[in-house]
Amino acid sequence: MNVTIVDYNSGNISSVINSFKEVARDKVKIEVTTDLNKIKSSDKVVLPGQGSFKSCVDALNNISGLVDALNEFAINNKKPLLGICVGLQMFADVGYEETETKGLGWISGKVSKIDNQNGKYKLPHIGWNQINIVKDSKIFKGIENNSHMYFVHSYEIVPEDKNVVSATTDYSSNIVCSVEKENIFGTQFHPEKSDKVGLKIIDNFINL
Amino acid sequence: MLKNRIIPCLDVKNGRVVKGINFVDLQDAGDPVEQAKIYSDGGADEICFLDITASNENRDTIYDVVKKTSKKCFVPLTVGGGVRSIEDINKLLNCGADKVSINTAAVQNTEVVVESSKKFGSQCIVVAIDAKKNEDKWEIFTHGGRNNTRIDAIKFAKKMEDSGAGELLVTSMDRDGTQVGYDIELMSKISSTVNIPLIASGGVGSLDHLVDGIKLGNASAVLAASIFHYGKHSVREAKEYLDSKGIPVRI
């Protein structure tokens, strides 16, 4: 089996690579690439993302054919894909960071700035927060409810269909922090930086 | 609920820890990779490396340390010390650092903060502010505390937030190394001025100082070096103590 981490100049993905390699050991091949054929033929795809919604979407679009390849992989062929942080946010129809930007449109909804209640809450939302698991997601196998995960973000995904939400976290409001829609998975938190419990989520995804 | 973070900091010089943990079972007490691993296994919420390598020819040693640590520690890793340019930041991130802290360069040229937060995202840009009290205000020091810029630390903190910093690491030069506690007034002044998280640093000698940093200083995270060294307190002890004082921590 092979898992492909999409390297599309979305910022720092070293930690994602390190964590997947740590979990995969010699059992699973971890590829880091933008090669469209490799992505299409891969068993699983990881879509990381750091920086702004706009910068990540622009970076995706800058690689000719990449969005089509991802659509073919996740929508037509229904193979497992995991989006992390802005990687998850891009599933939405539209994002409002910097300027209004069209997303991949896989999960209907938008990405908007977290309401910090007039400065009562600090942004970015940085640090360890607990997740409330609201749906039996396959990537949460063996993960206890209220586990701590590492977050760093100022924007949140707001899906129209609440049935896709698999976990939320409490900050200035109740924030969606994980989604599962058929073969598409996403975490707002960083499993690659969430110690052993985060690595377990990665292990669950690899073993889907 | 978001938890307050405890961040042990390791001073690294020429690729070796300067003041290390004096654990008997350590194979190599000077190895930053091994010490970082002990901290992360012990429940540290993040690890911070401060590179204090003086000579330019040995500057590359930190990259090797970061590379090795990031393959073993799966909690956020912040690296600071001698970060001058976008290229330095890029190199550290590529080696596996999750955040980079910028000190002197941010004071000399705000554009470094503006550009790097645009290029890499605010989430990985920490601005380190070293401040010393002078009568009724705090002034920024650079070059490891040797150079007084006379710049007002509170105003500078606001400017860094506006420039795109994701967090501020505030160190009181008066308190650093004294073990008498954080400069609470400085921390709370900056924390109430900015809307980004503040990491308090400089002066921790007891677990009560960590409590004060969060409760009185309004810090989101507390950084300490020496109390975790020589096994005086473990990270776990610190967390249990904070928990007993009603501070939310990840246990």
pLDDT (tens digit per residue) in A120-158: 999 999 999 999 999 999 999 999 999 999 999 999 999
Verify whether the Cβ–Cβ distance A126 to B166 is below 8 Å: yes
What value does the mean pLDDT of chain B take? 92
pLDDT (tens digit per residue) in A80-121: 999 999 999 999 999 999 899 999 999 999 999 999 999 899
Q: Which domain holds residue A121?
A: 2-206
Looking at residue A117, its amino acid is Q
Confidence of residue A59 (pLDDT cuts 50, 70, 90): very high
Closest CA–CA distance from residue A76 to any residue of chain B (Å)? 32
pLDDT score recorded for residue B25: 52
Lowest mean pLDDT among A5-19, A27-41, B19-33: B19-33
Enumerate the residues of chain B whose CB falls inside 8 A of the CB of residue A127.
Answer: 2-5, 45, 197, 220-221
A100 is catalytic: no
Q: Find the length of chain B.
A: 251
pLDDT score recorded for residue A112: 97
Among the residues of chain A, which ranges form H helices? 14-24, 36-41, 53-62, 66-71, 86-89, 195-206
Those residues with Cβ within 8 angstroms of residue B124's Cβ, 6 or more apart along the chain or in another chain? A11, A12, A50, B89, B93, B97, B98, B99, B100, B166
pLDDT score recorded for residue B232: 83
CA angle B110, B112, B114 (to 5 degrees): 75
Q: Where are the beta strands (DSSP E) in A19-160?
A: 29-33, 44-47, 81-84, 94-95, 101-102, 109-113, 125-133, 148-153, 155-159
Nearest by CB to residue B123, choosing from A55, A124, A128, is A124
- Please give the Cα distance from A190 to A175 (Å, whole number): 15
- Please give the Cα distance from A81 to A70 (Å, whole number): 9
Across the beta sheet with A2-6, the strand order is A29-33, A2-6, A44-47, A81-84, A184-187, A174-181, A165-170, A125-133, A148-153
Verify whether the Cβ–Cβ distance A128 to B250 is below 8 Å: yes
Q: Find the length of chain A.
A: 208
pLDDT (tens digit per residue) in B92-128: 999 999 999 999 999 999 999 999 999 899 999 999 9
pLDDT (tens digit per residue) in A12-32: 899 999 999 999 988 899 999
Verify whether the Cβ–Cβ distance A128 to B45 is below 8 Å: yes
Which residue out of B1, B2, B190, B239 would a mutagenesis test of the A interface target, given it has the greatest number of A Cβ atoms within 10 Å?
B2
Verify whether the Cβ–Cβ distance A129 to B1 is below 8 Å: yes
Catalytic residue among A85, A97, A156, A177: A85
Mean per-residue pLDDT, A31-36: 95
Number of structural domains in chain A: 1
The CA-based dihedral angle spanning residues A30, A34, A35, A41, taken in that order and rounded to the nearest 10 degrees:
50
Instruction: For domain B5-244, give the fold.
Output: TIM Barrel (3.20.20)
DSSP of B25-81, one letter per residue? T-S-TT-HHHHHHHHHHTT-S-EEEEE---SGGGTTHHHHHHHHHHTT--S-EEEES
Catalytic residue among A97, A156, A180, A192: A192
Nearest by CB to residue A127, choosing from B95, B195, B220, is B220
A144 is catalytic: no
pLDDT score recorded for residue B231: 74
Verify whether the Cβ–Cβ distance B166 to A14 is below 8 Å: no
Does residue B19 have a pLDDT over 70?
no
CB atoms closer than 10 angstroms to residue B127: 29
- Please give the Cα distance from B221 to B249 (Å, whole number): 10
Verify whether the Cβ–Cβ distance A18 to B70 is below 8 Å: yes
Verify whether the Cβ–Cβ distance B220 to A126 is below 8 Å: yes
* Element counts in chain B: helices (H) and strands (E): 9, 11
Closest CA–CA distance from residue A77 to any residue of chain B (Å)? 32
Domain parsing of chain B, residue ranges = 5-244
- Closest residue, chain A, to B123 (C-alpha): A152
Chains A–B, number of C-beta pairs less than 8 Å apart: 99
Tokens of B76: 């956020």
Enumerate the residues of chain B whose CB falls inside 8 A of the CB of residue A23.
Answer: none
CATH number of the domain that residue A199 is part of: 3.40.50.880
- Closest residue, chain B, to A85 (C-alpha): B123
